[in-house]
């Protein structure tokens, strides 16, 4: 027989049992709070390096001359690892900016500047000028056909959380498990 049974009291009325149950409850509560806090810290770490890319069509005046630019901007708080880039005209993949402009108007000589985007790391708060055109007729052609053009970027955070940005008339970003394979033919710029 236990000592409490000897004294004629049930075990739940014994102060030592009450103290033991209180200690167990405190221990379980402490572990639960620690696990929840660890989960919150993990989420906070992931969000502290979250990239968010946008594509901006920018028409400006530089040195008295009209310029049209397609700018990729990282508006997030972490770097973006750009894995895949694609460009389409009427749902047909393009190999380069030059091919796009030649498809829009094959009879004109082009003078444009472009930057390779694929494989780049875009830090938070930074931009890349993907393409810059300065001839008024090319700017007009781009603006007139903007609804026919689709530009896609697939990028990942440092935690390999990937997003697919589809930019046509407006930007739509969706999470993906991994970046898709390059288009055929692959976009070279």
Using one digit for the tens of pLDDT, what is the confidence trace for 151-186? 899 999 998 999 999 987 778 999 999 998 877 777
Q: Kindly indicate the confidence band of residue 187, based on its pLDDT and cuts at 50, 70 and 90.
A: confident
d(CA 108, CA 102): 7
Q: What average pLDDT score do residues 5-27 get?
A: 78
Using one digit for the tens of pLDDT, what is the confidence trace for 35-86? 888 888 877 776 677 899 998 887 776 556 678 888 999 999 999 999 999 9
pLDDT(145) > 60? yes
CB contact set of 185 (below 8 Å; sequence gap of 6+): 93, 95
Contact 187, 87 (CB under 8 A): yes
Task: Of 95, 120, 89, give the one whose Cα is nearest residue 183.
Answer: 95
d(CA 68, CA 140): 9
Using one digit for the tens of pLDDT, what is the confidence trace for 105-115? 887 766 788 88
Burial of 43 (0-12, 13-18, 19+ CB in 10 A): exposed
């Amino acid at each position: 027989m236990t000592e409490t049974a000897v004294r004629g009291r049930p075990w739940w009325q014994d102060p030592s049992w009450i103290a033991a149950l209180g200690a167990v409850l405190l221990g379980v509560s402490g572990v639960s709070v620690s696990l929840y806090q660890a989960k919150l810290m993990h989420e906070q770490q992931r969000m502290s390096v979250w990239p968010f890319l946008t594509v901006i069509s920018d028409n400006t005046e530089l040195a008295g001359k009209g310029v049209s630019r397609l700018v990729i901007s990282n508006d997030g708080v972490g770097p973006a690892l750009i894995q895949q880039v694609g460009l389409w005209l009427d749902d047909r993949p393009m190999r380069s900016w030059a091919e796009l402009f030649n498809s829009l108007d094959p009879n004109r000589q082009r003078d444009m500047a472009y930057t390779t985007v694929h494989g780049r790391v875009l830090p938070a708060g930074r931009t890349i000028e993907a393409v810059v055109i300065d001839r008024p007729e090319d700017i007009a052609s781009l603006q007139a056909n903007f609804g026919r053009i689709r530009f896609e970027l697939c990028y990942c955070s440092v935690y390999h959380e990937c997003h697919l940005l589809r930019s046509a008339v407006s930007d739509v970003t969706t999470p993906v498990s991994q970046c898709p394979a390059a288009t055929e033919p692959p976009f070279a710029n």
